[in-house]
Amino acid sequence: MDSIFILLMVLIMIASILLVIIVMAQNPKGGGLSSTFGGASSAQFGVQRTNDFMEKATWTLGGTIIVLILLSVVITGKPSAAPVPVPASKEAPAKQSAAVPANSTAPATTPVQTPAPTK
């Protein structure tokens, strides 16, 4: 199980590096920060035209990364078959006293004596 996790992590890292390279090679369509700080420099030094291959590769690599991450969670995230033992509580049981405490609000129970019958 551990080797599958390592394989999936290596594939995710390779796909992430390829995604970064493809995104950096694309020409920004909206300008973004490059147009704010002088848009002419990006046209001179950047890629002139982004074709459909770059856009399809971006979406494919992004989807691949998501699928690999979900697959790694499903495969390696299964609970173990053995149940986890619950630790016993460390508290001692409460002591029960036979005598009623003096500051108790319960009325004291004293046996009622009945008078002896007279003849």
In tens, the pLDDT along 105-116 reads: 656 666 667 777
DSSP state of 77: T
Closest among 78, 59, 73 to 18, alpha carbons compared: 59
Torsion from C-alpha of 64, 67, 72, 73, nearest 10 degrees: 150
For residue 25, pLDDT over 80 is answered with yes
Q: Please give the Cα distance from 73 to 28 (Å, whole number).
A: 34
Tokens 């508290």 appear where? 91
Half-sphere exposure of 84 (CA within 13 A, CB side): 4
pLDDT at site 82: 65
pTM: 0.49
Cα separation of 4 and 95, whole Å? 55
- C-alpha closest to that of 24 among 53, 43, 47, 40: 47
